[in-house]
A and B are shown apart, each in its own frame.
Chain A
Amino acid sequence: DTEVTQTPKHLVMGMTNKKSLKCEQHMGHRAMYWYKQKAKKPPELMFVYSYEKLSINESVPSRFSPECPNSSLLNLHLHALQPEDSALYLCASSQPDRLQETQYFGPGTRLLVL
């Protein structure tokens, strides 16, 4: 089973709203990622959690706040977003100890900021 789930599938929010994106995996992976993807572009890495600790933060604005409550869950808290933040937000997971480490992606949350 290589399933990564994300909720919600779609989200529309105003620039003053606070919302959260959720990601869950039950593959026992200990690394989880948030990516942002614009249309017809490759994913851009935002954050990496490894063993529930934030290991990479790609200079993402503070209006995006990640959280890793446990090894299976990853949240992305959104506050005071801008219209240019509208994109597909992808979650991925992998097992960092394995030599053939492969990232598995969720279906994404399509976010529209008005």
Chain B
Amino acid sequence: AQTVTQSQPEMSVQEAETVTLSCTYDTSESDYYLFWYKQPPSRQMILVIRQEAYKQQNATENRFSVNFQKAAKSFSLKISDSQLGDAAMYFCAYRPNNAGNMLTFGGGTRLMVKP
């Protein structure tokens, strides 16, 4: 069975600084997708960034980028120039290419941004 682990229950970062959220996963599959979702307090869960396992290049979306290390089964999220609006729960998620539609979520990391 696949598992996703986020080892940091809480993180904090100073506004305008950079923070990295960790995610590791366990799988025997070679073809899969990885996601980071953001869920602000009492607000909607939204997709931050997505990575295909067959792509070596790390995905980037504006201030958000990932460090995907396939051999190490690591998928960390880097947030640059942190903003107050980045404060949220961040969930890492995994989906194998042949598993229908099922996502496996990590336990989440609560990110606090200090002004």
Q: Find residues 48-106 in chain B having any chain A CB closer than 8 Å to their own CB.
A: 50, 52, 89, 91, 95, 97, 100-103, 105-106
Q: CA of A55 to CA of B100 in the docked complex: distance in angstroms?
A: 9
Chain B residues within an 8 Å CB radius of A42: 91, 105-108
B interface residues, tally (CB under 8 Å)? 23
Q: Which of A19-27, A68-76, A94-102 lies at the interface?
A: A94-102
Of the candidates B44, B101, B107, which one forms a contact with A103 in the assembled complex, judged by CB atoms under 8 Å apart? B101
Let me know if A108 and B102 touch, CB within 8 A.
no
Min Cβ gap B105→A in Å is 4
Q: CA of A105 to CA of B44 in the docked complex: distance in angstroms?
A: 7
Q: CA of A32 to CA of B97 in the docked complex: distance in angstroms?
A: 18
Chain B residues within an 8 Å CB radius of A50: 100-101
Chain A residues within an 8 Å CB radius of B101: 31, 33, 48, 50, 55-56, 94, 96, 101, 103
Let me know if B35 and A40 touch, CB within 8 A.
no
Q: CA of A106 to CA of B95 in the docked complex: distance in angstroms?
A: 19
A interface residues, tally (CB under 8 Å)? 24
Q: CA of A92 to CA of B65 in the docked complex: distance in angstroms?
A: 24
Whether A104 is near chain B, meaning CB under 8 Å from some CB there, is yes
Let me know if A104 and B47 touch, CB within 8 A.
yes
Let me know if A102 and B110 touch, CB within 8 A.
no
Min Cβ gap B43→A in Å is 7
Q: Which residue of A lies closest to B95 (CB)?
A: A101
Assuming the contacts A50-B100, A100-B50, A101-B95, asked whether A40 and B44 have C-beta atoms less than 8 A apart, the reply is no
Q: Which residue of B lies closest to A96 (CB)?
A: B101
Task: Write 14 A-B pairs (CB below 8 A) sorted by A numbering.
Answer: A40-B110, A41-B107, A42-B91, A48-B100, A48-B102, A56-B100, A56-B102, A90-B45, A99-B97, A100-B50, A102-B50, A104-B47, A107-B44, A108-B44
9 tightest Cβ-Cβ pairs between the two chains A and B? A42-B105, A105-B45, A107-B44, A31-B101, A42-B91, A48-B101, A42-B108, A96-B101, A102-B47
